Structure 1
Amino acid sequence: MTETSLNDRADKQQAAHGGTLKMTARDVDVFYGTKQAIKNVSIDVTQENVTAFIGPSGCGKSTFLRTLNRMNDTVASARVTGDITLDGKDIYGADMDVVQLRARVGMVFQKPNPFPKSIYENVAYGPRIHGLASAKPDMDAIVEKSLRRAGLWEEVKDRLTDSGTALSGGQQQRLCIARAIAVDPEVILMDEPCSALDPIATAKIEELIHELRGRYAIVIVTHNMQQAARVSQKTAFFHLGTLVEYGDTSDIFTNPRQTRTKDYITGRYG
C-alpha cells in the first residue's frame, strides 16, 4: 500500500472516530472467578476527546476502566478476555511491561490517595523510579510543570515540604493528578474523581479536565450525569455489565438510540 493510501486510511479512521485513535477494546469480557462482570464490550478512546463512562452502581463501568491499564491484574480471581490495544499494541500481550503500561496509562482513583510524603516527593516519586530526571534541577522542573498542569502550583509552591496528606480533599485529588502527569502519560483514567469532593473542588477538577483535554486521552467514570455532560465529548452508557450505547455526548443526552439509555438519562432507574 502506498504512503498516500495509508495516510488516506488514517484520515478516514480519524474522522470515523472523531479524533486520533489511542486505545481500542474489542469483545472484552471480565470474570471474577465464575461471575462475569463485563460482557462483550467494544469501544474506542481517542486522543482529542474526554470519554465518560456512565451507568448505575454496579453496572461494570469502573471494572472496565480498570482493564485499560491492567489494574484488574491485582485481583487474584480476575480474568480478562478479548483485545485491548494502546497505539495498536496488545496491552495484555506477553511482551507488555505492565509497569511501563501504567506509566503510559495513569490512574486517578475515587478517593484521593496521596502518599504519606511531602508534596514534592508525591510528584517526584514516579519520575524517580522511572529514571526520568538525572539531577535535582531536572526533577524540580518536572515537579513544577506537573503541579502547574494540575492547577496546584500557586497554592503549594511555598510549602512543597509539607505532607501531601495535609492538603484539602480537592487539593489532594489535584496532587494525585499531578503525580499521574509527572511520568508523562499518554492516557489518564479517572474513576469518579469528584465523588468525595465538595462542589467548589469538583468545579476545579472539571476545569482541570478541560485544560488537560487533547494533551492526554482522558477517560472518566462518573455517577453524575451532569458532570458527564459538562466535561466529555464522548459518552458510553453501561448497564448490567454490557455497553448499551456509545457516541457523542450531545447525542447520548438529547437523542439516545436505545430505550435503556433514555430511561436512565430521564431518571426512570439508576
Structure 2
Amino acid sequence: MMTDMSMSDIAAHQRADHSHDGDPRIRAENVSVFYGNKKAIDDVSIDIDQDNVTAFIGPSGCGKSTFLRTLNRMNDTIASARVEGRITLDGEDIYSSGMDVVQLRARVGMVFQKPNPFPKSIFDNVAYGPRIHGLATSKSELEGIVERSLKRAGLWDEVKDRLADSGTALSGGQQQRLCIARAIAVDPEVILMDEPCSALDPIATAKIEELIHELRGRYAIVIVTHNMQQAARVSQRTAFFHLGHLVEYGDTSAIFTNPTETRTKDYITGRYG
C-alpha cells in the first residue's frame, strides 16, 4: 500500500527497478588516478551491478582502495589527486561539473576501515544524514528511519534501549554496524566498504559478513579486503588489482578456483603479496 511508503522509499524503489534492467549501477571506463606525477591506477574499466557483492583484492599498495575512493569522489579531498576516464552512476557522469558531491556521497555511501562514529548519540549518528538531506518531515518519520536503519544493520536489538548513549561508547564491531546504519539511513544506491573488518575481532567480523549477505541486492556493495577467505565468503564477483592495474575480474568462484591470469593465481596461492 502506498500509505506505508515514504517518498524516499518510493525513490529507492524506482532506483532499484532501474538497476535490474541489465545496466550496471556503476560503470568505470578507462579510469586512471594520479597523485601529482605518480600514476596510482592505470586504465581500469569495470562494471558493478546491484545483484552481486563485488570484492576488490590484491597486495598492499596495489590501488584497490584508491580505486574504491574514485567511486564517490573521496579522492577530491586530496589536493594532488587527479582522475582521468569516466565513471557513471546510473548512466550519470559523477565527475561532471553539474554533479552535487554531497548528494553523490549520500547515493554512494562509504564505510571505512576504522569505525568512525560521530561523537554524538547513537540516534543522532543515524539521524544525521536524513536530517541534512531533508528525508524526514516529522520527528516520528525520523525515528522510523533510524529504527529501520539500525534493524537493517543488525544493531537495533542491542541499542534500542540506549539510543541516547554516545556512539563512541559502543564496541568496535557495534561501531562499525552503526556506521553502516548511518550510511544506509539516506537510502543509498551503493555502499563502498574499505576493509571494514580489518580492525575487528573474528566474532564482530562474522556479524559484518552476515550483514553484507543480508544487504546484498538491496544495495550494490563493493568491499576492499586483504582477507581472501573473506572475499570468497561474501562476494559473488572479484576484481584482482596489482600495481595499479586491474588484472582480472570475474565470478568469485572462478577467480579463486580457476583464474586465467598467472599473476592472479600466484596471489591466490600465496606466492606473493
Q: Judge same fold: TM > 0.5, yes or no.
A: yes
Residue 234 of structure 1 corresponds to which residue in structure 2? Answer: 237
RMSD of aligned C-alpha atoms? 1.4
> Pick from 217, 230, 249: which aligns with 2:252?
249
Matched, 1:185 2:191: no
Give the unaligned 5+ runs of structure 2. Answer: 1-17
Q: Deviations over 1:11-32 (max 9, x none)?
A: 9x83xxxxx5100001000000
Q: Deviations over 1:169-208 (max 9, x none)?
A: 0000000000000000000000000000000000000000
> Pick from 198, 218, 240: which aligns with 1:195?
198
* Deviation of 1:34 (Å): 0.6
Which runs of at least 4 in structure 1 moved beyond 6 Å after TM superposition? none
* DSSP-derived class of the 1:48 partner: coil
Q: Deviations over 1:30-60 (max 9, x none)?
A: 0000111000000000010000000000000
The amino acid that maps onto 1:230 is R
Query: What does residue range 39-188 of structure 1 map to in structure 2 within 5 Å?
Result: 39-188=42-191
- Looking at structure 2, the residues matched to 120 and 48 of structure 1 have their Cα atoms a distance apart, in angstroms, of 30
- Looking at structure 2, the residues matched to 144 and 98 of structure 1 have their Cα atoms a distance apart, in angstroms, of 27
User: Please, what TM-score do these two structures have when normalized by structure 2?
Assistant: 0.92
Of all paired residues, the percent bearing the same amino acid is: 83
- Looking at structure 2, the residues matched to 149 and 94 of structure 1 have their Cα atoms a distance apart, in angstroms, of 34
* Deviation of 1:135 (Å): 1.1
- Looking at structure 2, the residues matched to 129 and 256 of structure 1 have their Cα atoms a distance apart, in angstroms, of 45
- Looking at structure 1, the residues matched to 50 and 139 of structure 2 have their Cα atoms a distance apart, in angstroms, of 32
* Deviation of 1:212 (Å): 0.1
- Looking at structure 2, the residues matched to 231 and 176 of structure 1 have their Cα atoms a distance apart, in angstroms, of 19
Q: Deviations over 1:59-91 (max 9, x none)?
A: 000000000000000000000000000001100
Matched, 1:23 2:32: no
- Looking at structure 2, the residues matched to 61 and 177 of structure 1 have their Cα atoms a distance apart, in angstroms, of 20
User: Please, what TM-score do these two structures have when normalized by structure 1?
Assistant: 0.93
Matched, 1:211 2:214: yes
* DSSP-derived class of the 1:21 partner: coil
Give the unaligned 5+ runs of structure 1. Answer: 1-9, 15-19
Residue 17 of structure 1 corresponds to which residue in structure 2? Answer: none
Q: How many residues were matched structurally?
A: 256
